[in-house]
Every structure is written in structure tokens, then in C-alpha cells.
Amino acid sequence: MTSEARFENRRIAERAALWLLTVQSEQLSVSQRAEFIDWLRESPLHIAEMLRVCRLQRDLANFKGWDQIAPMDGGPASALIEFFESRSVAAAVRPPGHRVRNMMLLAASVAALCVLAILVLARFDQIVLSTQLGERREMTLVDGSVVDLAPNSEVVVRYRARERLIALNHGEALFHVARNPNRPFIVQAALTSVRAVGTVFNVGRDVHGVSITVVEGRVSVSQRSASNAADAPAESCATALCLGADEQVSISPAGRATAVRKVRSDAEIGWATGRLAFENETVAEIARRFNLYNRTQIQVLDADLAARRISGIFQASDPESFVAFVQAVAGAQVAQRDSEHIALGSPAQSSSGDTAH
């Protein structure tokens, strides 16, 4: 833990303790209640800290050893020594006859060391997964989570003991998150963080920003400001957004989020099953998406046609079906064609007799 992080933890812990004491000892005014609820809604860390401090208070109330606590005149130095001694040799302050328990303690600490070793190893676990044009990869990660990587995409997987971090460098990916109570799953794309516990969601990143679609479960989306981009995401999610199933949000490179949209998520993530679904999308954009998946590249020559909006579901590996669709619906003509290239033009531009259905 860095010293700043430790300081921050301590600050939150103190704040939580103050709130607990305040809530217990006095009637809160309206403004205090507002402040309290806003503080709670600022970060899951604040809530965790509230729960921890409640637990601590409960433990203190059940604690039976007050008579063994040195009274006020007992110097802090002796207390410190006792602290270290009792940590290292638990037997010192224990009455005899507890040998079995001491053995168990020992066993527990040996087990803890082993876990520690594994966690240290896990820290260096960093995997880069990427795809080329026309390539789609599905990978199962060590925890059982599955990443579907769209063409021309790259993610970096960094698993830590307490969190699973994925950076989406570019492109699009669908995450099936294996539920793990101990390690939240966090996808970072540009300055946006998507945090989940166990769910299915899709994150896309391109020049227009970041788009998040939830298929199943819930995620929280937060945004770091560019100035403190190095902060840990959870620490700085002052403006977290909650996204449920079939909901989608887009965030501009400047960090502005659109309103949450209801979408048909199965269509949105159709790419992962080899389907591409478009709703009111421009022909240019659809062609671009097809081009990601196929060696055969579609070129839209006519500006009007490129701007034309259509809807439909296509097989990603079958650009011909899209070409046929545009021909039928928009009256486009194939201006040029060879084995790796289809150029679409308006009817006026077309050379006739070249259309293959």
C-alpha cells in the first residue's frame, strides 16, 4: 500500500467512525442527514468503512479483556513491546493448556504465508490479449471469466489479489465475469472505469469515446478526471453511474456521459456470436464494422449512400448479405468488385450487369 493510499484509508476510516458516533449520539439535522447520505453515495469504500467500523464497535462491546488493558499511566512504550511480543509468540500471554490452539495458530500463519506467496506471484501476472482485423478471440481467464475480443482490439489483463483489472486499450470486448466476492472486476477504458462483481457486459472504445452495454447484472461506471488519471479508480469515483441489464451509456473523450439508454443487449453484443446488429446506423458505419471482420473490404463511394441509415441483423462473416441488403433497400449498385474489395455506389454511378445476388 502506498503511503497516500494508507493515509486515504485512514481518513475514510476516521470519517466513518465520526459518522457512526454522530448517528448514535444525536438527532441528525436535515443538512447532516443529506451530508451523510451524499458521503455514503460517493464511494463503495465509504460504505465498506461504515460496516467495518460498526463491526469494530461491536467487537469492542463484546471484548472481555478491558481489565488487562494498562490504565492511563501505563507508558505507551511498554504497550508497544507487548504488542510485538504477543504478535510473534502468542504463547507468551496465554495460560498453559492451550498448546493445541497455539498449534492451530501456527498452522494458520503458515497457511497465510503460502497464500501470500501465491498472491505475490499473481501480482506479476499481466497478459496482453489482442486481435487482428477479421479475427475474433474468446479467452477464458484464470478465474473462469471469459473475454470475447472483437476484431482489432486489445486488452491487458492484470489480476491482483483483491481486484481483477482489465485495460481496454482499443476496440471492443464482451466480459462474462465469474462471480467472485473477493475480487471486483474492473475494466478501464480511457478515463472510464466499469466495476462489476459478477455480470456480463460489453465495453467498446474508439475515437468517439467509450460505450458500455450491460447484458446481465449490474455494473457501476465511474469517470476519472484527466488531472488525476493515475488515481485508483475506486478511490476517485465521485460520479458513479449505475447501469442495469439492457442499459447502455456512452462517454465522450471529454468525459461527458450520455443519458442511459435502454437497448436490446442481445443485439448489441451480437458480434460475439458472429452477428452484427444495427439499429438506425449509417451505411458507412456498418461497412466499417463489416470491414473489421472480413478480409473482403466494403467501400462506400457515394456520400448520400454512406449517410443513409438502416437497421438490420447480419452475419458478420458474410458481407455479401449486407451488400445484397443495401442493394435491395437503398438501391445501391456494386460499382466494382474483386476478391477482396466491394465498392458500393449510387444507382447512377453503377456499371450495369455486375450485381450478383
Partner 1 sequence: MATEGSPPSKLGDLFRDWRQPLRRFLARRRAGCVADIDDIAQEVFLRLLRYDRSELIDFPQAYLFKIASNVTAEWAMRSSRRLPHHSEWLTELVDALSPEAELEREMLDQQLRCAVSTLPARAREILRLHFAEGLPHEDIARTLGVTRKIVKRDIARAYASLRISLDRNPFEVTQREGGAKPP
Q: Would you give the binding string for partner 1 spanning residues 241-260, x where CB under 8 A is met? A: xx------------------
- The CA distance from 223 to 346, in Å, is 43
Q: Which is nearer to partner 1, 58 or 264 (CB)?
A: 58
Q: Residues 109 to 168: which contact partner 1 by CB under 8 A?
A: 109, 112-113, 115-116, 119-120, 123, 158, 160-162, 167
List, as own/partner pairs, every contact residues 276-281 make where C-beta atoms lie below 8 angstroms and the sequence separation is at least 24, other chains included.
276/313, 276/314, 276/315, 276/316, 277/312, 277/313, 277/314, 278/310, 278/311, 278/312, 278/313, 278/314, 279/311, 280/309, 280/310, 280/311, 281/309, 281/310, 281/311
Residue 53 interacts with partner 1 (CB under 8 A): yes or no:
yes
Instruction: Tell me phi and psi for residue 331, to 5 degrees.
Output: 70, 20
Q: Which is nearer to partner 1, 16 or 147 (CB)?
A: 16
Q: Which is nearer to partner 1, 36 or 325 (CB)?
A: 36
Q: Would you give the binding string for partner 1 spanning residues 198-227, x where CB under 8 A is met? A: --------------------x-x-------
Whether 343 contacts 336, CB under 8 Å: yes
Alpha helices in 89-140 (DSSP H): 99-123
Instruction: Write the Ramachandran bin of 60: left for phi over 0, alpha for psi from -120 to 50, otherwise beta.
Output: alpha
Size of the site for partner 1 (CB under 8 A): 102
Q: Report the residue from 151, 171, 184, 345 that binds partner 1 according to the rule CB under 8 A.
A: 184
- The CA distance from 230 to 210, in Å, is 18
Q: Residues 2 to 31: which contact partner 1 by CB under 8 A?
A: 2, 4-5, 9-10, 13-14, 16-18, 20-25, 28, 30
- The CA distance from 318 to 48, in Å, is 50
Residue 76 interacts with partner 1 (CB under 8 A): yes or no:
yes
Residue 59 interacts with partner 1 (CB under 8 A): yes or no:
yes
Q: Which is nearer to partner 1, 190 or 269 (CB)?
A: 190
Instruction: Write the Ramachandran bin of 10: left for phi over 0, alpha for psi from -120 to 50, otherwise beta.
Output: alpha
Q: Report the residue from 27, 88, 182, 280 that binds partner 1 according to the rule CB under 8 A.
A: 182
- Give residue 61's identity as a one-letter amino acid code: A
Q: Which is nearer to partner 1, 74 or 331 (CB)?
A: 74
The single-letter DSSP state of residue 217 is S
Q: CB under 8 A: which stretch of 66-74, 129-137, 200-208, 262-270 binds partner 1?
A: 66-74
Compute the least distance from the CB of residue 251 to partner 1, in Å: 15
Compute the least distance from the CB of residue 107 to partner 1, in Å: 11
Residue 183 interacts with partner 1 (CB under 8 A): yes or no:
yes
Q: Which is nearer to partner 1, 105 or 306 (CB)?
A: 105
- The CA distance from 97 to 153, in Å, is 62
Strand 241-243, strand 200-206: pairing: unpaired
Q: Which is nearer to partner 1, 112 or 303 (CB)?
A: 112
Q: Residues 260 to 319: which contact partner 1 by CB under 8 A?
A: none
Instruction: Write the Ramachandran bin of 63: left for phi over 0, alpha for psi from -120 to 50, otherwise beta.
Output: beta
- The CA distance from 59 to 19, in Å, is 18
Q: Which is nearer to partner 1, 61 or 348 (CB)?
A: 61
